[in-house]
Amino acid sequence: EPEVTQTPSHQVTQMGQEVILRCVPISNHLYFYWYRQILGQKVEFLVSFYNNEISEKSEIFDDQFSVERPDGSNFTLKIRSTKLEDSAMYFCASSVDRFEETQYFGPGTRLLVL
Amino acid sequence: DAKTTQPNSMESNEEEPVHLPCNHSTISGTDYIHWYRQLPSQGPEYVIHGLTSNVNNRMASLAIAEDRKSSTLILHRATLRDAAVYYCILREAYSGGGADGLTFGKGTHLIIQP
């Protein structure tokens, strides 16, 4: 069964450093998403991406964040200058289209900012 | 997305049915009722969704009240692998201008006793 994959599974970085989290969505899906989950808290929507541009973003997704689909398979989330509060689990998801009901989530990348 | 209310936790025995309730008294006519679950250390996983009629799939059943102000996710025979946090989420349909991102609450932590 097709699945969303994410790399790396864990990333440790120093505050102020840039990180890039990578995702490979399911191949025939057109909508891509990033969510985050701070330890012990809710899963929070960050951004959705369609047709090579941001479709929707939450208040959390500020100028420190950016997303890109650099090629036909990868979908990336870049945090330009990490802060301690960026430590969280980051989940990528994809769906066939915006109005397809099901979003398929990857296993997540655990980011720790020191 | 309209708000949902779920119990913080529930406990059940293995091999027995589990009924997970969700209240959504402010649901609108264009809101679909979705259930996702999150197993320990994994990303959220789609379980089932419906609009008005009860729904069945290989994972679970969804019973929707006639006034749609509440719903129940039914796991017919719980196994240890069903231990997870279960989220009840309302999603506005396309015709209602639905948002891209899923709005997760705290969900119900389902504990399965062997």
Q: Would you say A108 and A89 are in contact if contact means Cβ atoms under 8 Å apart?
A: yes
The residue in chain B having the minimum alpha-carbon distance to the alpha carbon of residue A33 is: B101
A108 contacts B43? CB cut-off 8 A: yes
Q: Tell me the average pLDDT of chain A.
A: 94
- B106 close to B3: Cβ distance less than 8 angstroms: no
- Whether residue A43 lies within 8 A of chain B, CB to CB, comes out as yes
What pLDDT score does B1 carry?
56
Say which range, A24-33, A71-80, A93-102, A104-113, has the weakest mean pLDDT.
A93-102
Average pLDDT (A12-21) is 97
For chain B, which ranges sit under pLDDT 70?
1-2, 94-98
CB atoms within 10 A of CB B54: 12
Instruction: For residue range A69-80, list pLDDT tens digits in order.
Output: 988 789 999 999
Residue contact B100–A55, C-beta within 8 A: yes
Check CB contact under 8 Å for A98 and B94: yes
pLDDT at A73: 87
User: For A31-65, how does the pLDDT look when each residue is reduced to its tens digit (9 = 90+)?
Assistant: 999 999 999 999 999 999 998 999 999 999 999 99
> Of A95, A93, A88, A86, which Cα lies nearest the Cα of A107?
A93
If one counts every other C-beta atom within 10 angstroms of the C-beta of residue B99, the result is 16
pLDDT at A3 over 90: yes
State the pairing for strand pair B108-113/B9-13.
parallel
Looking at residue B85, its pLDDT comes to: 98
At residue A100, does pLDDT exceed 60?
no
Whether the upstream peptide bond of residue B17 has omega within 30° of 0, thus cis, is: no
pLDDT at A24: 97
pLDDT attached to residue B95: 55
* pLDDT score at B62: 98
> How many CB pairs lie under 8 A apart between chains A and B?
55
Q: How far apart are CA B89 and CA B103, in angstroms?
A: 7
Q: What's residue B2's pLDDT?
A: 60
Go through chain A and tell me how many residues it has: 114
Q: How far apart are the first and last CA of chain B?
A: 37
Q: Residue B32, Cα to own-chain centre: how many angstroms?
A: 11
**Distance between CA atoms of residues B46 and B67, nearest Å:** 24
Amino acid identity, residue A13? Answer: T
SS (H, E, C) chain A: CCCCEEECCEEEECCCCCEEEEEECCCCCCEEEEEEECCCCCEEEEEEEECCEEEEECCCCCCCEEEECCCCCCEEEEECCCCHHHCEEEEEEEECCCCCCCCEECCCEEEEEC
CB contact under 8 A, B101 and A105: no
- Cα end-to-end distance, chain A, whole Å: 37
